[in-house]
Amino acid sequence: MGYPSYAGAVSLWWDGRVPSETDALLADLIVKHSIALVEQERLLAAVGRAEDRAASLALESISDRAISLATGVVMHQRGLPPDEAEEVLRHAAAVTGTTLCALAARVVQSRARPSS
């Protein structure tokens, strides 16, 4: 996977005694537990990145939908083809200093109200 190997561990026994089989098993469990914790952190980080990506894609989809709807509104109001209607929206966003998505959302909201 490209990660450093955690397969081995070095132990120093300061009192000169030879580790028993139980000591070796405990050391093995500690090493395996440490590896599992590192892997858990990596997986949680990967999940976080995946969730961020999903949220970004969802927002992008909503933005695209709002821009498409606003383009349709401008096409209907002014009798323009799609490219020209989107250019009108882009120009209006630049003039007002807002993002295209924010302007599109306002256009869609204003057309959704019965009074407008």
Predicted confidence at residue 81, as pLDDT, reads: 94
Residue 60, pLDDT above cutoff 90: no
Check if the beta carbon of residue 6 is closer than 8 Å to that of residue 38.
Answer: yes
Arithmetic mean of pLDDT, 18-27: 80
Q: In angstroms, rounded to a whole number, what is the distance separating the alpha carbons of residues 78 and 72?
A: 10
Residue 9, pLDDT above cutoff 50: no
Q: What is the pTM of this model?
A: 0.55
| Domains and their CATH numbers in the chain | 21-112 (1.10.10.10)
Token pair in block for residue 93:
């966003």
